[in-house]
Amino acid sequence: MPGKNTAAVETLSKSALRRQKEREKRYQTILAAAEKLFASEGYHMASMEQIADAAEVSVGAVYFYFKNKEDLLVQLMDEIGYLLRSIIGTAFKKHGPNITGFKKAGHAFFEDFCANYPEKCAIIFRESVGKSPEVEQHRKALFDKCTGDVLAALTVVAENQGLCFKGNFSPEIIAVIIMGIYERVAYEYILWQEKPEDLTHIGRDAVAFITGGIDNLFEGASCT
């Protein structure tokens, strides 16, 4: 009898695990469908019915996983933000806490993230702008985290090279400017001019411009 109970529990566990995987797969399928539609049709034009059709699920299934279209956009922003920070952070860590690592992180933004995920760029750089207060809050939180990552990287680079910035606010200013430039360049050449094939050259020019500015904000001599 104990053996039968154990088998029943194992069968139930496998069944529960399978259902969990199916739910996760359906959740990701709906998110992927929403991402494509938001990027191609625009957030306001895409309907929950269209998203359900694209995901090959019922409208009720979409509402089971997401409260509304706004919730879909917020969840997308969170997932895209995680991917973006992971790509940039991995590039920086791979090449070390120095100015080369900082440049490689910038190249990764344009060449690995923007070039490979234009639809995700459309979500965070275009479709999340000017929406509800909740969406704006998530957008601000994402860019605050990215700016914080840049600031932390700058601090590590300066410490590793024994350098000091000319002013107390210099690294913070650089971090804010970098995020502004990267966002604007991505918007201009991916979403307006649709030139993803030129991103390698465009991105490297932007990174070279930024790193030149960083050099100018370091003190002439190393810190003592």
Which residues make up the CATH 1.10.10.60 domain(s) of the chain? 1-66
User: Under a CB-based contact definition with an 8 Å cutoff, are residues 166 and 219 in contact?
Assistant: yes
**Cα dihedral across residues 6, 7, 11, 12: positive or negative:** negative
Are 26 and 65 spatial neighbours (Cβ–Cβ below 8 Å)?
A: yes
Q: Nearest-CA neighbor of 175 among 192, 155, 198, 161? A: 155
Which residue, among 26, 30, 111, has the nearest Cα to 73 in the 3D structure? 30
This prediction has a pTM of 0.85
| pLDDT tens across the length of the chain (224 residues) | 455 566 555 555 878 888 888 999 999 999 999 999 999 999 999 999 999 999 999 999 999 999 999 999 999 999 999 999 999 999 999 988 888 999 999 999 999 999 899 999 999 999 999 889 999 999 999 999 999 999 999 999 888 888 888 888 888 998 999 999 999 998 888 777 777 778 888 889 999 998 888 877 776 656 65
How far apart are the C-alpha atoms of 199 and 178, rounded to whole Å? 16
**And the tokens for 208?**
């070279």
Domain with CATH 1.10.357.10 in the chain: 68-224
* Spatial distance between the Cα atoms of 89 and 108, rounded to a whole number of angstroms: 9
Residue 139 burial (10 A CB sphere; 0-12, 13-18, 19+): buried
> CA 22 to CA 156: how far, in whole Å?
43
User: Which residues 6+ apart lie within 8 Å of 74 measured at CB?
Assistant: 134, 135, 138
Architecture of domain 68-224: Orthogonal Bundle (1.10)
C-alpha to C-alpha distances, 40 to 52, 69, 213, nearest whole angstrom = 16, 16, 36
**Domain 1-66, CATH number (from 3.40.50.300, 1.10.10.60, 3.90.180.10, 3.10.129.10):** 1.10.10.60
How far is residue 8 from each of residues 5, 13, 145, measured CA to CA in Å? 5, 9, 46
Question: How far apart (Å, rounded) are the C-alpha atoms in residues 74 and 72?
Answer: 5
For residue 15, give the amino acid letter: S
Q: Determine the pLDDT at residue 189.
A: 82
